[in-house]
Amino acid sequence: MKNLLVKGGLAALPGETEPRLMDIRIKGGSIKELAPMLRPEEGEEILDAAGMEVFPGAIDPHVHFDEPGFTHREDFFHGTSAAARGGVSTVIDMPCTSLPPVTSRARLDKKLSAMGRQAVVDYALFGGLSGLSIDEALAMDMEELAPEVVGFKCYFVSAMDTFTALNHYDFKRAVKRAAELGRPLLLHAEDASYVKAAEKAMKARSLEAGRAASWDDYADSRPEDAEKLAVMAAVILAGPYADSLHIVHAGTSEAAKLAAAAGASCETCPHYLAFSRDDFAQKGSALKTAPPVKSRGEADKLWTLLADGSISFAASDHAPAPEQEKHTGSVWSDYGGIPGTGTLFPYLYSEGYKKGRLDLATFLSVTSGAAAKRYGLSGRKAAIKPGMDADLMFMDPAGSYTVKGGELLSKGNITPFNGMELKGSVRLTLVRGATIWDAEEARKAGRAEAGILANPGYGKQLKWGY
Ligand SMILES: [Zn+2]
């Protein structure tokens, strides 16, 4: 492994209010020394960072890379390449969108062997709690999975036959068990009884009117109240274990507030910060996710909660799907999910940090620091300081990035961010001192794929306490 000296960059350091001119010495893949003017040592390669802002590599703590079982949507090579391209150096993969889902140690081993050596950035995994196997999970599987995973994921409402929702009683048992094992329990928080009845009613509404179902029908089937009800139930049931509860992809500000008030953590995603349900008219199923984006005005409230720390961090909920699954002809059967891992950091940098909605400390927390803490990875990840892994990304603040779905490096190319112009461009992504993404190589070759310099398999699995 090469020893590097990153020279002349503006480094975003912990506790600072703005990036500072700082050289970074990297040995054996970790950060050894920081000082404004370091002299090169024998055998060191110099990485010129003049004019660049240097950030800790971003963490995307919520991705669906679908392997094994649904790799026509995404796999670890494409998913981690898309991540690296967007400045992400660590991803955390969800247990529910693979076959089999990761609900036991044996199934986790199946996933790891099916994945093989594909990842180009580091990754951690979540374990899953499905209604189909919750008794086995509580009896044994959670305990066996805990050393390998950084949290457990469950749903209050699920559209998957292979990974079903938990009822309130089982959820209560699960959050207690997760707390005993020292792992957070992640919840997809939409209320099942509301959503199922509303979906039925909205289907009837379009039929009675003699028209095809509309995006308003879809949005009305999963409104703000569905999220608020679910979070309220979750914090009641979690009771003294609320600090082990994490609400994934909150799109409703009042739901996020309920979580924060109870001591639970919570994440939101760029699509909730960028769009409202009014945008379905123009974006169609490119914008479809569950929960759906909410009413106009919600996004501003979510920004405020992100800025004041009520929402702990951002995640992409990366979940691509091919054309024939995204555009089926019905709002009900179109696949819900966005290939977002590559636009997560660029979006937050441009619309959050550059526009002054997030100060530097909050931006660092939202894009890497808080997720590393929550998932037991802060020993070596998510800060530019000696002793940490040299996971860095160079942002050219004078550059710009126009999102193009076909150049994300993901298997999916249908994104509501298509065409969006963002300030700043990701020039380089390093994982443990190795260059994974180099925008200059992509530019020279005239194709984005050429910017991925790591061999598949460079990325390694991270466990709690890393
Ligand atoms: Zn998800």
pLDDT tens-digit map of 213-228: 999 999 999 999 999 9
In angstroms, what is the span from residue 460 Cα to ligand 1's centroid?
Answer: 22
- Supply angle C-alpha 292, 293, 298, rounded to 5: 140
Predicted confidence at residue 35, as pLDDT, reads 97
Distance from chain centroid for Cα 32: 29
Give the mean pLDDT of 334-355.
Answer: 98
Q: Is the pLDDT of residue 115 over 90?
A: no
Quote the mean pLDDT of the chain.
97
Interatomic CA distance for residues 218 and 199, integer angstroms = 7
In angstroms, what is the span from residue 243 Cα to ligand 1's centroid?
Answer: 21
Q: Is the pLDDT of residue 48 over 90?
A: yes
Q: Which residues surround ligand 1, an ion (CB under 5 A)?
A: 317
**Domain containing 402 — which CATH number?**
2.30.40.10
In angstroms, what is the span from residue 95 Cα to ligand 1's centroid?
Answer: 9
Q: Is the pLDDT of residue 1 over 80?
A: no
Number of domains in the chain: 2
**Domain containing 168 — which CATH number?**
3.20.20.140
The answer to whether residue 462 sits within a structural domain is: no
Q: Is the pLDDT of residue 374 over 80?
A: yes
Predicted confidence at residue 376, as pLDDT, reads 98
Residue 118 shares a structural domain with residue 188? yes
pLDDT tens-digit map of 242-298: 999 999 999 999 999 999 999 999 999 999 999 999 999 999 999 999 999 999 999
Residue 26 shares a structural domain with residue 64? no
pLDDT tens-digit map of 398-411: 999 999 999 999 99
The answer to whether residue 458 sits within a structural domain is: no
Predicted confidence at residue 435, as pLDDT, reads 98
Residue 193 shares a structural domain with residue 116? yes
In angstroms, what is the span from residue 198 Cα to ligand 1's centroid?
Answer: 22
Predicted confidence at residue 241, as pLDDT, reads 98
Q: Is the pLDDT of residue 373 over 80?
A: yes
pLDDT tens-digit map of 410-459: 999 999 999 999 999 999 999 999 999 999 999 999 999 999 999 999 99
Q: What residues make up the domain containing 107?
A: 57-374
The answer to whether residue 262 sits within a structural domain is: yes
In angstroms, what is the span from residue 127 Cα to ligand 1's centroid?
Answer: 13
Residue 90 shares a structural domain with residue 46? no
In angstroms, what is the span from residue 50 Cα to ligand 1's centroid?
Answer: 37
Predicted confidence at residue 189, as pLDDT, reads 98
Residue 228 shares a structural domain with residue 250? yes
Residue 180 shares a structural domain with residue 228? yes
In angstroms, what is the span from residue 256 Cα to ligand 1's centroid?
Answer: 17
Residue 17 shares a structural domain with residue 93? no
In angstroms, what is the span from residue 128 Cα to ligand 1's centroid?
Answer: 12
The answer to whether residue 276 sits within a structural domain is: yes
Q: Select from 374, 399, 427 the last residue of a domain.
A: 374
Give the mean pLDDT of 356-371.
Answer: 98
Predicted confidence at residue 159, as pLDDT, reads 87
pLDDT tens-digit map of 149-169: 999 999 999 988 999 999 999
Predicted confidence at residue 116, as pLDDT, reads 80
Residue 74 shares a structural domain with residue 206? yes
Q: Select from 346, 374, 402 the last residue of a domain.
A: 374
